[in-house]
Amino acid sequence: MNINTTLRKFIENSNYFNNRLNREVIEFIDESNIDCKYKKAQKLIEQLVEPHRKNQLYRHITELYEVEVATMSLTGKRDHVLHSVNTFLLGLFINDKYLDKKVDMFQWNISALFHDIAYPLEISQKIIERYFNKLNSIKCELDVENFTPNLNIVPKDFEKLTNNKNSFEYIQKRVYKWGLDINVQKRYADMIFSNQICHGIISALTVLYLIDLMYQSNNPERNNNNNNHSGWEQRYFENDVVSACSAIFLHNLSDDAFKNIKKNKAPLPYLLKLCDELQNWDRPKTDMLNGDSPENYDVFIHDNKLIYKVGSESIKYEILHKIECLNDRNVVIKNETQQ
C-alpha cells in the first residue's frame, strides 16, 4: 500500500501534461527528502499555472512556504504547500476515475493549488493570540485586576474588484448555481464578528482579487473577443476563475455549508472538499517533521466506489467525520487491515 505509487502509475499512463512537466510531477512524487520536495512543489506550482499566464500567483506560494517554515514550531500547524500539490494530484485521479461529471482542469488547477494561499494570515493570528494569552496569564498569576489588552484583525476591502465589481456577488451567483443555500456575505460577516480568520474565505477573495487585477491589466475592456490578449477573455474570468474561487470560499466552511451538495451538480466544490480532507500524507508538522508516510494510504476504484485506505482506525474515523457532510456513500474509508 502506497498512495504515491498509485498516483505515479496514474500520471505515467495519463496525458494531462507534456513530457517535461510529466517528468517534473513524477520527480515530485518520488522525492523523499522533505526540503527537496518543498522546492520541487514550488517549481511545479509555477509550471502548472504558467500556461494559463497566472504565474504571478506563484509568488504567494513562496511566501506561504517561508511563513510556514518560520512559524511551525510556534503554531504546531501542518504544511500547506506540499498539501496543495498532493491535493491537486489526488484530485486528478478522483476526477478521472470516479466522478461522472468531470471538473474542468483550469478550474481545478486554481482551486487545488491556491485553496490555502491565505494561510499566513491565519498563522499570524495564532501567533498574536499566543502573545496575548501569555500576557493575560501573567496578569492572572499576579492576581491584579486590570483591563485585558487585545488586538483584533479585521480584513477590509478584500471583496472590492475593479470596475466597481464585487467578489461576493460573483461567488453568490455561482454558489446558488451549484444548488447550495449559503449567504456568502453573511459568512464573511460572521467571520469578522468572530475575530477568527477563515483561510478559505480569505484565500478565495485573495485569488479573485489578484486575477481580476491581471485581467484588468491584460484586457481592460473585458472583451470576450480579445485577439490581442488571447486567454484573458472575460468569459474565462466569469466562468472558470469565479468557479475556482467559489470552491475555495466553501472548502473550509462548517459542515452545514455542504448539506445539500450533489457531486454531479457541484463537482468542483465537492472534489476540493473531498481531496482536502483525504490528503494527509507527506504533511510535515511540529511532532512529525516528515509527515505521515504515503505507505499508510492508498486509493482505488472498486464496484464504482472510491476506496481510500488508511493506516489506522483513528485516522479512518477522523476522515469519515470530516467527509460525512458530502453525503456520498460511494466513498469508503478503510483501515489497511480490513479486507
Structure confidence by residue, pLDDT tens digits, 8-34: 999 999 989 999 999 999 999 999 888
What are the CA-CA distances from residue 36 to residues 29, 45, 76, 247 (Å)?
A: 11, 14, 21, 30
Check residue 290 and give its pLDDT.
61
Q: Which residue has the higher pLDDT, 288 or 2?
A: 2
Q: Average pLDDT in the 314-325 region?
A: 96
Check residue 48 and give its pLDDT.
86
User: Is pLDDT above 70 for 127?
Assistant: yes
Check residue 316 and give its pLDDT.
96
Q: Average pLDDT in the 249-269 region?
A: 96
Check residue 39 and give its pLDDT.
87
Check residue 228 and give its pLDDT.
64
User: Is pLDDT above 80 for 62?
Assistant: no
User: Is pLDDT above 80 for 55?
Assistant: no
State the average pLDDT for the chain. 89
Q: Which H/E stretch holds residue 267?
A: helix 267-278
Check residue 56 and give its pLDDT.
67
Range in 144-148, 207-211, 268-272 the model is least confident about: 144-148
User: Which residues, at least 6 apart from 67, have a Cβ–Cβ distance to it below 8 Å?
Assistant: 119, 120, 123, 124
Closest to 65 measured CA to CA, from 77, 79, 78, 50: 79
User: Is pLDDT above 60 for 289?
Assistant: no
Dihedral pair phi/psi, residue 299, rounded to 5°: -145, 140
The Cα 98–Cα 317 span in angstroms is 22
Residue 155: pLDDT band with limits 50, 70, 90? confident
Closest to 245 measured CA to CA, from 220, 215, 223, 285: 215
The Cα 74–Cα 77 span in angstroms is 8
Crossing angle between the packed helical segments 167-177 and 184-194, to the nearest 10 degrees? 120
User: Is pLDDT above 90 for 87?
Assistant: yes
Place of cell 502548472: 48
Check residue 152 and give its pLDDT.
79
Q: Which residue has the higher pLDDT, 253 or 53?
A: 253
Closest to 247 measured CA to CA, from 272, 265, 275: 272
Q: Average pLDDT in the 90-103 region?
A: 98
Q: Which residue has the higher pLDDT, 50 or 39?
A: 39
User: Is pLDDT above 90 for 321?
Assistant: yes
Q: Are 274 and 323 in contact (CB under 8 A)?
A: yes
Range in 189-198, 221-230, 264-273 the model is least confident about: 221-230
Check residue 336 and give its pLDDT.
76
Q: Identify the three-state secondary structure at position 139.
A: helix
User: Is pLDDT above 90 for 46?
Assistant: no
> What is the pTM assigned to this prediction?
0.90
Residues in the chain: 339
User: How many Cβ atoms sit within 10 Å of the Cβ of residue 318?
Assistant: 14
Check residue 69 and give its pLDDT.
60
Check residue 183 and give its pLDDT.
98
User: Is pLDDT above 70 for 337?
Assistant: no
Residue 73: pLDDT band with limits 50, 70, 90? low
Q: Which H/E stretch holds residue 54?
A: none
Amino acid at 59: R
Q: Average pLDDT in the 131-145 region?
A: 89
Q: Which residue has the higher pLDDT, 227 or 255?
A: 255
* Cell numbers found for residue 239: 466562468
Q: Are 247 and 113 in contact (CB under 8 A)?
A: no
